[in-house]
Structure 1
Amino acid sequence: MWRISMAKALVGFIGGPTPAELQQTATLRRRVADLEAEVGRLKTENDGLLQALRERVESVNASDLMEPVAH
């Protein structure tokens, strides 16, 4: 318990984070949020592409495999 009090005392003595550190923390948090949103967007896009591929594969039948592919 005394360690927590000592840590709080040290932070108080040092003065805590500087305005520049607070700004950097805010910037990093925004960046993390932006990256999380991008991951979500890419996951949604990937899920859509996988579904389209599944539908395409399901629509293929044996006769489609016998026809030559047009270039």
Structure 2
Amino acid sequence: MDNSPITGSVTTVVAEKEKLAKASLAFNCKRVKHVKNQQKKSFLTWLLLFLASIIGVVMALPLLQL
């Protein structure tokens, strides 16, 4: 196998690759946790909005009777 560098390639040692892989894993784990928290907050916001809408409709029903 030819291991000669090509134009634009970066040469790194194994230790540097391992360091970058660990940093990448830590970053990705934090990002996934953040996204899950955002999804949970978004769901709760929509749930509260939905419940408030239902309460508003139920309270308006007597006013709509003819």
Tell whether the structures are fold-level matches, with TM greater than 0.5.
yes
Partner of 2:18: 18
Root-mean-square deviation (CA, aligned residues, Å) is 2.3
What CA distance in whole angstroms lies between the structure 1 residues aligned with 2:47 and 2:19?
42
What CA distance in whole angstroms lies between the structure 1 residues aligned with 2:52 and 2:63?
21
What CA distance in whole angstroms lies between the structure 2 residues aligned with 1:31 and 1:47?
24
TM-score normalized by structure 2? 0.66
Partner of 1:5: none
* Unmatched segments (≥5 aa) in structure 1: 1-13, 67-71
Q: How does 1:1-71 map to 2 (within 5 A)?
A: 18-61=18-61, 63-64=63-64
| Runs of 4+ with >2 A deviation | 61-66
| Structure 1 or 2: more helix by fraction | 1
* Unmatched segments (≥5 aa) in structure 2: 1-13
The AA in structure 2 aligned to 1:36 is K
Aligned pairs, number: 52
Greater relative CO, 1 or 2 (CA 8 Å, sep 6+): 2
The AA in structure 2 aligned to 1:53 is S
**Percent identity for Structure 1 against Structure 2:** 12
